[in-house]
Structures are given as C-alpha cells and as structure tokens.
Amino acid sequence: MAKYINRTAIILYLNLLIGIIHVLHEFEILNFIPDTYYFIIPVSFLLTLIVWNGLLMLKKNK
C-alpha cells in the first residue's frame, strides 16, 4: 500500500487530475474556471509532469 501513497504517486495523481480537468474544459463539459485564468491549467500540468519525471529520475539514481 505504501507504494501507492509516496511522493511520486501523489504527483502523478495530481497530474492526472489536472489533465482530466483540462480535457473536460476543452470539450466544454465542465467550465468552472474562467477563461482569463485558464492558462494556469496547462502550465500546472507541465510543471507537475516535470516534477514527476524528476522524482522518477531521483528514485532511479538511488
């Protein structure tokens, strides 16, 4: 169970949640974020992807 709640997994879950929000907004199914602030979603997706990749590389080097 511990492998599903470590730092790397939590960042991955957050990234997937941001991706789902982005897809739902693009298909206009869910629209709770105003378009003026929407640039935060793709940027945060890319940042969490970078952090997740960094954590995987750190784990691999250990």
Q: What is the pLDDT of residues 17-42, one digit of tens each?
A: 999 999 999 998 988 888 889 999 99
Question: How far apart are the two ends of the chain, measured CA to CA in Å?
Answer: 21
pTM summary value: 0.86
The pLDDT score that the predictor gives to residue 44 is 96
Q: Which of 8, 20, 9 is nearest to 44 (CA)?
A: 20
What is the C-alpha separation between 21 and 52, in angstroms, rounded? Answer: 18
What is the C-alpha separation between 3 and 6, in angstroms, rounded? Answer: 6
Q: What is the DSSP letter of 36?
A: G
Domain encompassing residue 26? 2-61
Give me the number of domains the chain comprises. 1
Q: Which of 42, 52, 37 is nearest to 22 (CA)?
A: 42
